[in-house]
Structure 1
Amino acid sequence: MLKDPSQKYRPAPTVDLPDRTWPQQRLTQAPVWMSTDLRDGNQALFEPMDGATKLRLFKTLVKLGFKEIEVAFPAASQTDFDLVRTLIDDGHIPDDVTIEVITQAREDLIRRTFEALRGAPRAIVHLYNATAPAWRQWVFNMSQTEVRQLAVNSARLIKQLADEHPQTRWTLQYSPETFSTTELDFALEVCNAVTEVWQPTPENPAIINLPATVEAATPNVYADQIEWMHRHLARRDAIVLSVHPHNDRGTAVAAAELALMAGAQRVEGCLFGNGERTGNVDLVTLALNLYSQGVSPGLDFSNLHALAREVEQCISLPVHPRHPYAGDLVFTAFSGSHQDAIRKGMTAQAGQTLWAVPYLPIDPADVGGNYEAVVRVNSQSGKGGITYLLESAYGLVLPRRAQIEFSGIVQRVADDSGRELTSGVLWDLFRAEYLERTAPLELVSHQLEEQGTVTHVSLAVKIHGQTRHLAGQGNGPLDAAWHALQALDLAPGMQLHGYEEHATGQGSDASALAWVELGGAGVAGGVHGAGWHPNLVTASLQALVQAVNRLNKA
């Protein structure tokens, strides 16, 4: 039993912002994206990436469209330092991409950082120091004044070193680490003190990044904090306001979205939410949330499955099968009612401009998915999913009563196996049940003769292995064959209930799929048989024979 939390945990403070405006805002454009997969994401791995793997992931991020990539903490390790030098010396940085590196507020680390960046065409230097009470008191034993002065002194050194290397276009960034649990007025004081040193301009702005280093409150509180800072920051027109949400409460994506509504312009995060503890904000989910609302994210996730496999190989962590958009099962329906709704929605979607398919927030094809994978069949599935798979994979259209009939057969197989049934397994079941029965009756050949409005048919059939020749007449081939089969007396009270036909394939590959439904004495409802042949008459007669065989089994 959990302890009484009110005796142990302090509720997060709220923000006095009664005239907040973010709840009325809508996201109409993408933020500046900054990937920290190679830095923040890397430091959270069981085994950090080596230089070759980091370079591989860097190139992947560039292909996706990221223009700002935090590549390293070069003063923290030789591997990180060497990566920065490789990117610069070997010309891996495209002209429209800016690399970013991070440093703590220490002189030796700052100098080492600039040494790593020597000769870079463009670079963001990201300075941070912790500002929240618990860190000030218990980690660093520093007063507010000392924390502020540490940030100012480090900002001065960074500006000095940047001025000494004018061949690089520098962007300077400051983060009050643990912003989300820092007193707002103190966070503002430190940020303003740093930008007072840097003197950014609208033409060369600085970045103020406000991290939820530990997510400690509901997303609306974070949004209030961002809006309050957005209103009060000095030199606001010369600042790019950035956020860096972590996911400790599982709401980082919501916090980032609300923060953008509150005035943030830039988001730092990782692909698929990798990062320390529960992770950084998931940039894939965030970007595709925008996409689902008609806003172009400016990042290319058109082959999301391949991207997930690439990232898994680089970081040695799996993407969860239920991960939003990217998981192997997120566009998959096992539930019968879900499958039926998706099948009907996909049919109705043809010719429509705006996407509106039940249970599918975006078109799976937009992220490289295929419609066959949308519906998968197990013991929880119904006729809608089975029908959808057979129709999408093989062009089979089942009459409604045949759908119900076949779903019962599939259900028994799924219950017995306890496993998922693929479209291939369903096709095998369908053929065995409806197309390939040879007992008691097998169609060998047929001949037709038209005399006015009457059709005469001659049938050669095998019954229990013996060949019989039958003749009948009627108002069409199927009716004539029906009368011919009466001579066999295979099923007492046999009645012809219905006939349907559908075309499958196109051009020279076109075939007819015919369905015959029969009823018989003592048989509840009817049973179906199917025939599939390029010749419609042959398909119809095959379907009749298959229905007779199934009726005799019933």
Structure 2
Amino acid sequence: MEQKTNTNLTSYYPSIQEMIVPGQGLRTPPKSPFFMDVTLRDGNQALRKPWNLEEKEIIFKQLLKLGVQGIEVGFASASHQDFEACSHLASLAPENVAISSLSRAVEKEIDLSWEAIRKAPRPRIHIVYPISDFTIRNVLGLTEKQVKENIIRSVSYARKLAGNFGEVQFSGEHFGDSLENMEFTIEAFQAALDAGADVVNLPNTVERYRPYLFVAMVRKVAESLPQGTNISVHTHNDLGMATATTVESFFAGAVQLETALNGLGERAGNTNTYEVAIALHNCGVKVDLNLQAIYETSRIVSRMSQVPIHEKAPLIGEDVVAHRSGIHQDGVSKTKEMKKGAYRAFDANLIGRPEGDRIAFTSQSGKSAVYEILNQSGISISKEEASKLQPILKALSEQSGGGELAIEEIQEELEKMRLLPNLDQ
């Protein structure tokens, strides 16, 4: 029986030829990504202890240092405290950074959002409204016609408030669940554009499926809306794939990427800013961020949010620059002076990290580890001596269950070994 070709929107994968420009490297979109940071809104609302105004200002200024192009400063209508924070931060904003406040599709809330951020040189009203078939039926209890009317009404209202000075963004909440009603979803985004939206945001409000399904949906929308439409994505990390989803969405037509510092956000968090930025940088994309500020920023945010950084967290985790396997250590040693390391995904200097590749000795380590560890500690040792010392250290490590040896233990064993020839005299 002849197998039918799958032609639905999940079936297309770019070929290697489509990803590479012969003789030049990886193919990249013509525009640099626009990073819209949501730490002060989505990230903050998920904290056990949300930040006060002073703390928000510290994070805000760190975001400016990082160089993000947009900052969602809060949900102005959520509380008086949030309104005051949005208003204060908007007054501190530089001319080149978009300042956004989230709002439901309710006129009085849109009024509060605009009032809070209008002091910013570049204010943006951000309206969110559900568009997935599941949410329309089970949460809103409305028809698609009514949903579309509400979108048009709220976006038009925001457009009148913002005039030619401010920007309007429309988010179709639960876009990631809209596979069953993609045609209506596209109509809804087009209606928002017609009503005056400058940006349409495609959120993966709850991550449920494979990244490429969402990416294919983004591509479908990008191909269906007018060329040049400013498309944004906002993905959550429920299944641990938000970075992959966001990075690939950029290549599928999304220019604005909504991310959060340290991956903060509801449930498993939002897309991690640092991971997206470095992944795109590694692919040859011009990322207009101060990448040197990443490591410093991660420590400030962790301390202030009281959310610790896992030791294996990509880029910023304590242990991600460590190498303990003999095979890995040999590769690290041989490529340490090269731009591309055998087992190095990123240059620590790129993100302002004070230490690069760190070799540690365990029962799994080889002679390269002995040589590098001692030389980096200022202790001169030949490769021949390192080769003789390795089995001694391996035995010592195994005596303690194979654990990592301290530099003092390694140095002590070296001194003992160097005394051995004298015993034969």
Normalising by structure 2, what TM-score? 0.89
CA distance in 2, matches of 1:372, 1:158: 49
CA distance in 2, matches of 1:334, 1:303: 28
- The answer on whether the counterparts of 1:371 and 1:392 sit within 8 Å (CA) in structure 2 is no
Q: Structure 1 regions of 5+ residues with no counterpart?
A: 1-12, 201-205, 350-354, 435-528, 530-545
Query: In structure 1, what is the equivalent of residue 24 of structure 2?
Result: none
**Is residue 413 of structure 2 the alignment partner of residue 413 of structure 1?**
no
- The answer on whether the counterparts of 1:372 and 1:393 sit within 8 Å (CA) in structure 2 is no
Structure 2 vs 1, CA of residues 195 and 150 (structure 1 numbering), >3 Å: closer, same or farther? same
CA distance in 1, matches of 2:263, 2:199: 22
**Is residue 383 of structure 2 the alignment partner of residue 385 of structure 1?**
no
CA distance in 2, matches of 1:105, 1:161: 14
Task: Look up the SS of the partner of 2:349 in the other structure.
Answer: helix
Query: In structure 1, what is the equivalent of residue 175 of structure 2?
Result: 179
Q: Deviations over 1:301-332 (max 9, x none)?
A: 32544322111012111121111111111111
Which residues of 2 match residues 6-25 of structure 1 at below 5 A? 15-16=8-9, 24-25=18-19
Task: Look up the SS of the partner of 2:304 in the other structure.
Answer: helix
Structure 2 vs 1, CA of residues 433 and 304 (structure 1 numbering), >3 Å: closer, same or farther? farther
- The answer on whether the counterparts of 1:272 and 1:285 sit within 8 Å (CA) in structure 2 is no
Task: Look up the SS of the partner of 1:244 in the other structure.
Answer: strand
Structure 2 vs 1, CA of residues 309 and 121 (structure 1 numbering), >3 Å: closer, same or farther? same
Which residues of 2 match residues 124-523 of structure 1 at below 5 A? 124-163=124-163, 169-182=165-178, 183-198=181-196, 206-234=198-226, 236-237=227-228, 239-302=229-292, 304-346=294-336, 349=338, 355-369=339-353, 374-394=358-378, 396-400=380-384, 402-418=385-401, 419-430=403-414, 432-434=415-417
Deviation for aligned residue 1:395: 5.0
Task: Look up the SS of the partner of 2:322 in the other structure.
Answer: coil
Query: In structure 1, what is the equivalent of residue 76 of structure 2?
Result: 74
Structure 2 vs 1, CA of residues 106 and 14 (structure 1 numbering), >3 Å: closer, same or farther? farther
Query: In structure 2, what is the equivalent of residue 504 of structure 1?
Result: none
- Paired residues, what number? 408
CA distance in 2, matches of 1:357, 1:279: 31
Residue 185 of structure 1 aligns to which amino acid in structure 2?
A: E
Which residues of 2 match residues 51-90 of structure 1 at below 5 A? 51-89=53-91
Q: Deviations over 1:491-541 (max 9, x none)?
A: xxxxxxxxxxxxxxxxxxxxxxxxxxxxxxxxxxxxxx3xxxxxxxxxxxx
- The answer on whether the counterparts of 2:302 and 2:309 sit within 8 Å (CA) in structure 1 is yes
CA distance in 1, matches of 2:70, 2:39: 11
Q: Deviations over 1:154-198 (max 9, x none)?
A: 1122122223xx6xx311100110011122111111111121121
- The answer on whether the counterparts of 1:335 and 1:382 sit within 8 Å (CA) in structure 2 is yes
CA distance in 1, matches of 2:132, 2:51: 31
Query: In structure 2, what is the equivalent of residue 30 of structure 1?
Result: 32
* Coordinate RMSD, CA, aligned: 2.4
Deviation for aligned residue 1:20: 7.1
Residue 311 of structure 2 aligns to which amino acid in structure 1?
A: P
CA distance in 1, matches of 2:423, 2:346: 42
Deviation for aligned residue 1:21: 5.9
Deviation for aligned residue 1:291: 2.2
- Flag as ranges the 4+ runs of structure 1 deviating above 4 A: 17-23, 370-373
Deviation for aligned residue 1:397: 3.2
Structure 2 vs 1, CA of residues 149 and 360 (structure 1 numbering), >3 Å: closer, same or farther? same
- The answer on whether the counterparts of 2:234 and 2:259 sit within 8 Å (CA) in structure 1 is yes
CA distance in 2, matches of 1:429, 1:222: 56
Q: Deviations over 1:390-437 (max 9, x none)?
A: 11221523233x22321223223333445433435433443x325xxx
Task: Look up the SS of the partner of 1:326 in the other structure.
Answer: coil
Task: Look up the SS of the partner of 2:71 in the other structure.
Answer: strand
Alignment counterpart, residue 40 of structure 1, candidates 39, 42, 49: 42
Structure 2 vs 1, CA of residues 398 and 365 (structure 1 numbering), >3 Å: closer, same or farther? farther
CA distance in 2, matches of 1:361, 1:307: 20
Deviation for aligned residue 1:245: 1.4
Which structure has more RCO (C-alpha within 8 Å, separation ≥ 6)? 2
Residue 211 of structure 1 aligns to which amino acid in structure 2?
A: P
Residue 192 of structure 1 aligns to which amino acid in structure 2?
A: Q
Query: In structure 2, what is the equivalent of residue 539 of structure 1?
Result: none
Task: Look up the SS of the partner of 2:124 in the other structure.
Answer: strand
Residue 398 of structure 2 aligns to which amino acid in structure 1?
A: D
Deviation for aligned residue 1:73: 0.4
Rg (Cα) greater in structure? 1
| Structure with the bigger percentage of strand | 1
